[in-house]
Amino acid sequence: MKISEIYELFENIGVLTFSTIYKGEVHSRAAHFNGFDEEGIYFRTMWNKPFARQLMETEKITVFGISDTRILSHDGESGAEFPPGYSIRLIGEVRFLPEDEIRERAKTNKDLELAVFDMDKYPTMRKGNFIINRAKVEIFDFDFECKNRDHKVLRTRMAFGGMTFNEAGPKITEKCIECGKCYKKCSFKAIEKGTPYRVRPERCDDCGDCITVCPVDAIEISSTF
């Protein structure tokens, strides 16, 4: 998947949650992206805000958005019902962009023209431009009621800028005796029969049901993204 496609998925959501770290605490706020190119994805803030200061100190960022935040029902009998949609999350590294670099890039990137406008209107934005130039991204396409397909989840992971990632879901080891209990228990249709059985990471919600029914402890818990 190209950076342009990742950006479009975020842009379709609009307002996103941006999180940083400060003295071991997670600090989150609403923000949005303002452009992309082959190097990465752009956003901006004011240099005097804690947000900018945390970015300058750690050079780390996490961004999350979901296409539809509604829960149509939530009761003791049927549980939560979500309409089909997707969430997208990004874990990455940022680079500060000086004012003159933004102005130069805006000459060939129309997305950054508004950044120049804002820098002229709000002086504190002149030192508040950043680009996410290394990141790993996960798209979690969900259809829990199987209205549009025969399985609940389609999970896609990718990275750019040289960052790497681990696949989703637990791993079935060679201890597997092929009893089929995990296959029958999985409501996400994420278990594939074989020698040994296999978890399909693109369908797995990491719910852990397979782990609870395995009689020989052949299933290892998932790795961190």
Domains of the chain, with CATH numbers?
Answer: 3-160 (2.30.110.10), 171-220 (3.30.70.20)
Asked if residue 5 lies in contact with residue 46, where contact means CB atoms within 8 angstroms, the answer is no
Peptide bond into 196 cis (omega under 30): yes
One-letter identity of residue 130: F
Of the candidates 71, 44, 56, 47, the one whose C-alpha atom is nearest the C-alpha of residue 20 is 56
Identify whether the C-beta of residue 170 lies closer than 8 Å to the C-beta of residue 199.
yes
Bridge partners, 3 (sequence order): none
pLDDT 10s digit of each residue in the chain, 225 long? 899 999 999 999 999 999 999 999 999 999 999 999 999 999 999 999 999 999 999 999 999 999 987 766 666 666 677 889 999 999 999 999 999 999 999 999 999 999 999 999 999 999 999 999 999 999 999 999 999 999 999 999 999 999 999 999 999 999 999 999 999 999 999 999 999 999 999 999 999 999 999 999 999 999 999
Burial level of 167, CB count in 10 A (0-12/13-18/19+)?
middle
Cβ neighbours, 10 Å, residue 63:
23
* Number of residues that this document lists for the chain: 225
Measured between alpha carbons, how far is residue 113 from residues 22, 33, 76, 94 in Å? 31, 13, 51, 20
Smallest Cα–Cα separation from 131: which of 90, 75, 70? 90
